[in-house]
Structure 1
Amino acid sequence: MLRPSLLILAMCLSLAACSKGGKDGKPSDKSASANTERPLQVTAEDYVTIQNNALASGPVITGSVQPERKADLRAEVSAIVLQVLKENGEAVRKGDLLARLDDTSFRDQLASSEQAARAAQQTLDQAERQLERLKTLRASGMTSMQALEDAEIRRNNAQSELVAAKARQVAARQQLQRTEIRAPFDGIVSERKVSNGDTAQIGKEIMKVIDPASLRFQGLVSAEAVTAVKAGQSVSFRINGYEQQFIGKVRRVDPAANATTRQVEVLVDFTGKDQPRVSGLYAEGRIEAGSTEALTIISSALIRDGDKSFVWAIQGGLLKRVPVVLGERDVRRGDYAVTAGLKSGDKVIRQPISTFKDGTKVDLVASAGTAAAPSVTEPSVASASASSTGK
C-alpha cells in the first residue's frame, strides 16, 4: 500500500502529465508557463535560521588511545616454551597461567638445594650437640678450653652454611616459579609473541596484557597552544573506527616537550559511558579551552564543490544558491562557523537536493503536522526530495 505522501505525489505527476499537451500530444504554451511559475512549498521543518551561537574553541589534539594498565610479560629464565595457554583477545584473571616453560633443570636444582639444606641442618644439629657435651666436660675440668672454642667455631660455621643452603633453596624455587608466566591483573591478552617449541631467552617478550577498562587518550598539542591547556578542561574527539564522538577531561599536561617534535603530551580521561574497547587507535579532537560567538550552520545544509561550499537560501521569496566561507568547526555539535556569505536571520534549506534550481519561487507554509494536504499544482520540498530519490 502506498503511503499518503507518495500517493499525493503520484497524483501530482499524473495530472501534470495530462496537462502537458493537447489533443495532438504537444505541450501547450499555457501549461508550460504554469509549470515554470509553480512555487516550491517550504515548511518550518525544511529550513534552518542562521543565528549566533557559542562556538567552542581551543587547540587541536592528536594521538592514540592507550591503556593505563598494561604489562609486557618477558621470560626471566632461559628455557623452551612448552605450552601457550592463552590467545590474542582472550580475557584473563589475575594469576591465570598464560604460558609454561620447560622446568626440568630448575626442578633438579630445587631438589639439589633442598638436599643441601637438609644436610646443612643435620651438620648444625650435630655441631650443637658436640658443643653441649664439651661445655659439660669443661665444667668438670675434663676438656680443654681450646676444644670448647673449636666446637663453637664448628657450630657457627654450620649455622652459616645452613643459611646459605636455605638461600640457594629459595632462589631455586623462584627460578622454578618463573617458568610459569601468569597474568598480573584482570585484563585481555593483546599480543602473543611465542609459540610452542620456541626458545625463550632471558628478556624475550612472551605476551602483552592490557586492562581495557583503563583506556585513556594520550594526545599531543603544539608548543604554541600549550599555555591554553589546563587540567580539568573538556575534550571532544573522534576515534578511527567509531562513529560517535567521545568526551574526555584533561588529567595531566606533561611538563616537558618531546625532544623531536617539540609537542607536549596531554593525558585525557574518558568521562562518558561509551568507551572504546580497542587500544592503539588514532584519535583527533579539540580541547575546549574557550568559546566565542559566531554565526553557525549545520553540516547537512552545506553542499561541497571542490574547495568551495554553498547553501540554498531563501531570499526575497526565491531560492538562491549562495556561496559561503566557513571557519572552524564546533567540536561539540559539529556545526561550522560562517565567516562570509550569510547574515543572522537568513533561512537556509536544511537538507538540499540536487534538483533545486536557482531562482525558484518559494512559499513558506505551515508545518507538515498542521497543514492540509498540498495542492496538486504546488510542489513541496518533501515531494521534490521523494521524486529525486525515486530517480
Structure 2
Amino acid sequence: MLRKTIIFLAIASALTACGKHDKDPAKPGAATAQADGKEKDGKAVQLLVAPEDVLTVQSSELANGPVITGSVQPERKADLRAEVSAVVLQVLKENGDPVKKGDVLVKLDETSIRDSLMSAQEAQRAATQALEQSQRALERLKTLRASGMTSAQALDDAEVRRNSAQSELSAARARVVAAQQQVTRTLVRAPFDGIVSDRKVSPGDTAAIGKELLKVIDPSSMRFEGRVSADKIAAVKVGQPVMFRVNGYGEQKFSGIVKRIDPAANDVTRQVEVLVGFAGESRPRVAGLYAEGHIDAELSDALMLPESALVRDGDKTYAWKVKGNALARADLAMGQRDQRTGGFEVKGGVAAGDTVLRHPNSSLKDGQKVEMTAARVASAASNPAPAK
C-alpha cells in the first residue's frame, strides 16, 4: 500500500512541473527566432541586420566581348634534334630539370666522326705539301725561263699544277671544317635558359639525322594561344584586355592583353587564332593547360549586383531591398553577366543608392520589420577582454 502511494505522488509532481514549463516559454528561444528572422506563430518576426549583411546598389563597369578558348604555351621553345647519325651515349638532363644556355644535354658517340676528322686533317697536310712543292717548281721554271733555258709551255704547265694544288688545299680545309662541325654536333646543348619539358631518347638509342632528342621551353615566356569564332573577330583589337581562367588553377583569374591576331582563319574550325600575353607577374608554369575567358571588347556603365544577392523563382529574379525599417521585394529586369566579376547587370527594379540584402534566405517576407545593428567586428572589439 505504501509503495502505491509513493508512485502516485511522484507522478503528480511530474505533471505539476510540466504545467509550469508550458506557461513560461523560454525567452532565449524567442531571441534566437528574432535574430534569424524566422516565423513564430505564423507571423514574421523582426530581422536583425548588420552593416556587413547589406550592400548598396551602384554603377560599375560592365565588360562585354567574345569568348576565347585555347591553351597556355611558351613563346620560346626548342625541339632539339640529332644533326649527325650516331649512338646516344649520355642523357644528362631529365624532364623538369632547369638548364642554362650552352649546357650539354645529350652526348652522342663521336668515334666514327672523329676518324673522319683525322682523315680530313691528313688530306689537308698532304694538300699543303703538294702546294708548297708546286710553288717551288714554278719559281725554278720562272728563273730558267728568264735565262732562256726552258720553254713557255713548261712554265704554263707549272702554273696549272700550282693552281690545282691550291684548289685541292682549299677543298681539304673545307672538309676539315665540316668534320669539326660534325664532332661539335655530337654534343647537344641548350639554346637558351629554360626547363627540359620532354625527353625522347635514352642511352643506347640510335639517333638518326633529324630524330627528336628532347624539348626545352622557357616558362617565363608563357602566353595564351586562344581561338575566337570568326563571326566575333571583328570586335577583337590588338591591345584589348582579356580575363581568363586556366584549368588546374581553380578559380584564379589571369589577366592579359591581345598581342596579335592571326590574319587567316583555320580551314577546319573556321576560328581565328589570337595570341594573348600575360599581364603582371602571375602566370602558369606548366605548358599545354586548357584556358578559357573573355575579351573585353566593349566597356559600359551599368547597375551591377552579385549573384549572392539575387533570388530566382522560376523565370523571375528578385532582390530584397531595405526601405526604412522594413523589407521590400524588388522584381528585377536582368541583363547580361560580367564574365570578369561574375556579377549581373540589372536593368530595372532597383536604382543606384538602394540598399539590398547581400545573402537573402527563403524565409523572408515582404514588409518584414528590420532593425539595423552595429558592425559585428566593432561590437566584438568593444567587449571587454576577459580577466586573466
TM range (shorter): 0.7 to 0.9
Offset of residue 130 of structure 1:
0.9
CA contact (8 A) 1:138 1:144 kept: yes
Offset of residue 372 of structure 1:
6.3
Within 5 A, what are the aligned runs for 1:193-272?
193-242=200-249, 243-272=251-280
* Structure 2 partner of 1:88: 95
1:358 to 364, 369, 382: 364
* Structure 2 partner of 1:283: 291
1:161 counterpart SS class = helix
What amino acid maps onto 2:289 in structure 1? Answer: L
Aligned: 1:56 with 2:63: yes
Cα RMSD after superposing both structures: 3.0
Identical pairs, percent: 57
* Structure 2 partner of 1:102: 109
In structure 2, the CA distance between the partners of 1:176 and 1:27, relative to structure 1 (3 Å rule), is farther
* Structure 2 partner of 1:149: 156
**Deviation by residue 1:162-190 (Cα, 9 ceiling, x = unmatched):** 11111111111111111111111111111
Task: Write the distance in 2 (CA, Å) between the matches of 1:74 and 1:203.
Answer: 5
Task: Write the distance in 2 (CA, Å) between the matches of 1:117 and 1:53.
Answer: 79
* Structure 2 partner of 1:41: 48
Offset of residue 225 of structure 1:
1.2
What amino acid maps onto 2:344 in structure 1? Answer: Y
* Structure 1 partner of 2:120: 113
* Structure 2 partner of 1:10: none
Task: Write the distance in 1 (CA, Å) between the matches of 2:73 and 2:240.
Answer: 20
**Deviation by residue 1:270-298 (Cα, 9 ceiling, x = unmatched):** 12121221221111111111123333222
Offset of residue 324 of structure 1:
6.6
Offset of residue 359 of structure 1:
2.4
* Structure 2 partner of 1:297: 305
Offset of residue 333 of structure 1:
2.7
Within 5 A, what are the aligned runs for 1:126-145?
126-145=133-152
**Deviation by residue 1:334-367 (Cα, 9 ceiling, x = unmatched):** 3222467x423554432456xx523284423143
What amino acid maps onto 2:291 in structure 1? Answer: A
In structure 2, the CA distance between the partners of 1:170 and 1:221, relative to structure 1 (3 Å rule), is same
1:122 counterpart SS class = helix
Aligned length: 349
1:202 counterpart SS class = coil
**Deviation by residue 1:227-268 (Cα, 9 ceiling, x = unmatched):** 111111111111112242111111111111111111111111
In structure 2, the CA distance between the partners of 1:102 and 1:304, relative to structure 1 (3 Å rule), is farther
Within 5 A, what are the aligned runs for 1:315-326?
none
1:232 counterpart SS class = coil
What amino acid maps onto 1:359 in structure 2? Answer: K
Which runs of 5 or more residues in structure 2 are unaligned? Answer: 1-16, 34-39, 381-388
* Structure 2 partner of 1:177: 184
* Structure 2 partner of 1:6: none
In structure 2, the CA distance between the partners of 1:255 and 1:146, relative to structure 1 (3 Å rule), is same
CA contact (8 A) 2:101 2:191 kept: yes
What amino acid maps onto 1:105 in structure 2? Answer: S
What amino acid maps onto 1:261 in structure 2? Answer: T
* Structure 1 partner of 2:169: 162
Q: Which TM-score applies when normalising by structure 2?
A: 0.80
**Deviation by residue 1:312-351 (Cα, 9 ceiling, x = unmatched):** 62467666888877643323333222467x4235544324
Offset of residue 157 of structure 1:
0.8
In structure 2, the CA distance between the partners of 1:279 and 1:311, relative to structure 1 (3 Å rule), is farther
Task: Write the distance in 2 (CA, Å) between the matches of 1:143 and 1:30.
Answer: 141
In structure 2, the CA distance between the partners of 1:309 and 1:189, relative to structure 1 (3 Å rule), is farther
Aligned: 1:68 with 2:72: no
1:188 counterpart SS class = strand
What amino acid maps onto 1:328 in structure 2? Answer: Q
What amino acid maps onto 2:295 in structure 1? Answer: I
Task: Write the distance in 2 (CA, Å) between the matches of 1:370 and 1:334.
Answer: 27
* Structure 1 partner of 2:132: 125
* Structure 2 partner of 1:387: none
Task: Write the distance in 2 (CA, Å) between the matches of 1:27 and 1:79.
Answer: 99
Larger Rg: 2
CA contact (8 A) 2:327 2:370 kept: no
Task: Write the distance in 2 (CA, Å) between the matches of 1:112 and 1:150.
Answer: 30
Task: Write the distance in 1 (CA, Å) between the matches of 2:334 and 2:301.
Answer: 14
